[in-house]
Amino acid sequence: MTVNAWLKARAVELGAALCTSAILIGGLAVGVPFLLERIPEVFLYSFCCVSAVLLRAAIDLAVRASMLAVLSIRPAPRAVGLEPSSA
């Protein structure tokens, strides 16, 4: 996956999480009855929604960086094996 594709995918996820949070908090501002009954849960869910996307991106970057580091390590050269001569 290219860097641009990865960034676009994370941007879509973050946009969806922010949109969900905005709708929930906007519902509180408007006064939606079933949201007003659960104000702490709405804020907690909004926070967790955005945090989960950011945490997933950080974990994904860490895994990709460690894989890149592992793949960039060159294996030690093998010892030259001696073969018996035909003489």
Q: Report mean pLDDT in 10-residue bins for the chain, 87 residues.
A: 87 93 92 88 92 94 89 72 69
Residue 72: per-residue pLDDT: 85
Residue 35: per-residue pLDDT: 85
Q: Is the dihedral of CA 49, 51, 54, 57 positive or negative?
A: negative
Element (H, E) at 30: helix 3-30
Residue 2: per-residue pLDDT: 84
Say how far apart CA 55 and CA 62 lie, in whole Å: 10
What's this model's pTM, rounded to 2 decimal places? 0.70
